[in-house]
Amino acid sequence: MHRRARELAQERHQSLSAVVADLAVRGLATLGAPLEVITDPTSGFPVISLGRRFTSAEVADEIDDE
């Protein structure tokens, strides 16, 4: 999947992160989920907003559950 996304980025003359964000938006749009893509002012990376922010502790709990 990474290889194909990288190929798409080269074909479109876009960054890999922009292509991955676009693909995620398209995929999530088929589910009818509300979302917004913004550019992070610090990193410059595209960011997809799907709801609330998760804390580091919540992420660690989810990883532990796996």
Domain of residue 36 covers: 2-65
The pLDDT assigned to 33 comes to 64
pTM, two decimal places:
0.51
C-alpha–C-alpha distance, residues 60 and 51, integer Å: 19
The pLDDT assigned to 50 comes to 67
pLDDT in tens, 4-62: 999 999 999 999 988 988 888 788 777 776 677 788 899 988 787 766 778 889 888 88
Is the pLDDT higher at 66 or at 15?
Answer: 15
Tokens found for residue 10: 């080269």
**Total domains present in the chain:** 1
